[in-house]
Structures are given as structure tokens and as C-alpha cells.
Amino acid sequence: MKPTVQCWAVVPAAGVGKRMQADRPKQYLPLAGKTVIEHTLTRLLESGAFQKVAVAISVEDPYWPELSISKHSDVITAPGGKERADSVLSALKALKDLASEDDWVLVHDAARPCLTTADIHLQIETLKNDGVGGILALSSHDTLKHVDDDTITATIDRKHVWRALTPQMFKYGMLRDALQQTEGNPAVTDEASALELLGYKPKIVEGRPDNIKITRPEDLALAQFYMEQQA
Ligand SMILES: Nc1ccn([C@@H]2O[C@H](COP(=O)(O)OP(=O)(O)OP(=O)(O)O)[C@@H](O)[C@H]2O)c(=O)n1
Ligand SMILES: C[C@](O)(CO)[C@H](O)COP(=O)(O)O
């Protein structure tokens, strides 16, 4: 299903996966018959929501050219950067002759292979008339503590704390400008934080808990479990 607004996908996939401690970047690890990144890109492409998918890949990456999906006619490759935000900006620049300033861009981690078509369309439909955009996020099912070293200093009202997921959906021009203006700022760990630093107030859309980020070794088994449940 094509949304009524023009959308592009940007996929940062240039990380090294330090916390995974594997013999290759985590996006190339096997998961349910494919690599992690093949699942992620296939889900984005099959959602029917995007004009093109721009993927940021490290310039020293020997794995990407080996995947047939790297030659897909709707996939554009851009050079990755030092930090995630640099990779996202690079992929946005690769779309500059295709995307219009007011088109929507959904930035989605290569390391989140369990994203569903339902969540993509929920996010687009919820935010398509918003002036800023927003992110998929998860509420907390646990009581939350503020801690200094190993000592609790406060209990936080959980209605004010959400876990940021991806996709993160913003207007092409606004996101590019925000990432350029906040370049090098270590506080920018996602797209929303770049916009927040400039005074914008992005929205949250409640996402699914199975949209996990593969970060540590045990996450692969969890992703496999979720994929079996989704099938
Ligand atoms: N310079 C970077 C760093 C990260 N990413 C991408 O951003 C996403 C989320 O980042 P994270 O989970 O932190 O991945 P890594 O940086 O690879 O992991 P680690 O922090 O454990 O090294 C991943 O798809 C990763 O490939 C990227 O494109 N460019
Ligand atoms: C963008 C992100 O996936 C939102 O949770 C996250 O900020 C990137 O990963 P990291 O673990 O913060 O590097």
C-alpha cells in the first residue's frame, strides 16, 4: 500500500557492532536464513511505503557488495560516517536530487530487523499531517529509578519516559538541516534529539515491543523468536 504522502527510507548500516563482539558487523550476522540487514531492507521494500531506500555503508565494508539486495533497483548506497548521525546525513545527501524538502523520511536502524509493515503504516498515517514528525517509542512496564552510581535518588513518573525506537520520521529538509547544525554533538544519538536541540517537539507513536535493536549476542535468539511469532 502506497501512503498518500511521498516517503523515503534511510538506513544507517555503517556501524561496527562493538557490543555484539562478533567476527563481523552485526548487520551481516545470520538470522532466520538471511543476514540481519537483508531482513531489515526486505521489510522496508515490501511495505510498499517508500520511493527508494538509501543505505549508509562503511567504505571499508566487504560484505555489502556480496548481497544481491545491494543491487536492488530501489536501493541507493551512500558512504557511512564516523557516528550514526554522520551516516544518516550522508544517506540524506544521496537523495538530494530525488527528494523534495517537504517529503517525509523514515530513518530506520539496519540493526532492527523485526520491524512490521503495520508499524510503518501506523507511523506514517499518525504523523503525515504533523508539522514536525516523530518516532516510534515504547512505554515502560517497570517502575523507573533515577540512580547515581549504585544508589537510587528518585523514582521517575513513568508516564514521562519512553524508549526511543526507529523508524524516526521527519521532513527531508528539516532533518538534513538539523543534522548539519548539530554535527559532532555526542548528544545526538537519534534523529529526534537533533530536532529537540533546535527547539522542535517531535511526537511519539507507540510501537511494537518486538521491534528490537540487535545490540548484544542474546538479541539474535530473541529476534528469531519474534520472527517466528510474526510468521
Ligand atoms: N557510524 C555509524 C554507527 C552506527 N550506524 C548504524 O546505526 C544503527 C544503530 O547503531 P548501534 O546499534 O549503536 O550500532 P553499532 O554502532 O554498530 O553498535 P556498537 O555501538 O555496539 O558498536 C546500526 O544499524 C548501525 O549500523 C551507522 O550507520 N554508522
Ligand atoms: C536510534 C536508536 O536506535 C534509538 O534507540 C539508538 O539511539 C541508536 O543506538 P545506540 O545504542 O544509542 O547507539
Q: Which residues contact 187 (CB under 8 A, 6 or more apart)?
A: 193, 197
Q: Please tell me the predicted confidence (pLDDT) of residue 45.
A: 98
Cβ(11)–Cβ(47) under 8 Å? no
Q: Which domains does the chain possess?
A: 7-230 (3.90.550.10)
Q: Where are the alpha helices (DSSP H) in the chain?
A: 36-46, 84-94, 117-127, 172-181, 191-197, 218-230
Q: Please tell me the predicted confidence (pLDDT) of residue 219.
A: 97
Q: Please tell me the predicted confidence (pLDDT) of residue 105.
A: 98
Taking the centre of ligand 2 as the mean of its atom positions, its distance from the CA of residue 66, in whole angstroms, is 27
Taking the centre of ligand 1 as the mean of its atom positions, its distance from the CA of residue 115, in whole angstroms, is 17
Residue 180 in contact with ligand 2 by CB distance below 6 A: no
Task: Say what the alpha-carbon torsion angle 197, 198, 201, 204 is, to the nearest 10 degrees.
Answer: -50
DSSP 114: T
Give the total residue count for the chain. 231
CB half-sphere exposure, 8, CA atoms < 13 A = 27
CA 199 vs CA 97, 105, 138, 192: distances in Å: 28, 20, 23, 11
CA 181 vs CA 135, 162, 194: distances in Å: 20, 25, 8
Q: Please tell me the predicted confidence (pLDDT) of residue 180.
A: 98
Question: Which protein residue's CA is at the shortest distance from atom 3 of ligand 2?
Answer: 165
Residue 166 in contact with ligand 2 by CB distance below 6 A: yes
- pLDDT by residue for the chain (231 residues), tens only, comes to 778 899 999 999 999 999 999 999 999 999 999 999 999 999 999 999 999 999 999 999 999 999 999 999 999 999 999 999 999 999 999 999 999 999 999 999 999 999 999 999 999 999 999 999 999 999 999 999 999 999 999 999 999 999 999 999 999 999 999 999 999 999 999 999 999 999 999 999 999 999 999 999 999 999 999 999 999
Q: Please tell me the predicted confidence (pLDDT) of residue 86.
A: 98
Q: Which atom of ligand 2 is nearest to the CA of 19?
A: 11
Nearest ligand to the CA of 194 is 2
Q: Please tell me the predicted confidence (pLDDT) of residue 137.
A: 98
ipTM over 0.95: yes
Q: Please tell me the predicted confidence (pLDDT) of residue 34.
A: 97
Report phi then psi at 44, rounded to 5. -65, -45
Q: Please tell me the predicted confidence (pLDDT) of residue 3.
A: 80
Residue 182 in contact with ligand 2 by CB distance below 6 A: no
- Whole-model pTM: value is 0.97
Q: Name the helix (H) or strand (E) containing 76.
A: strand 75-79
Residue 61 in contact with ligand 2 by CB distance below 6 A: no
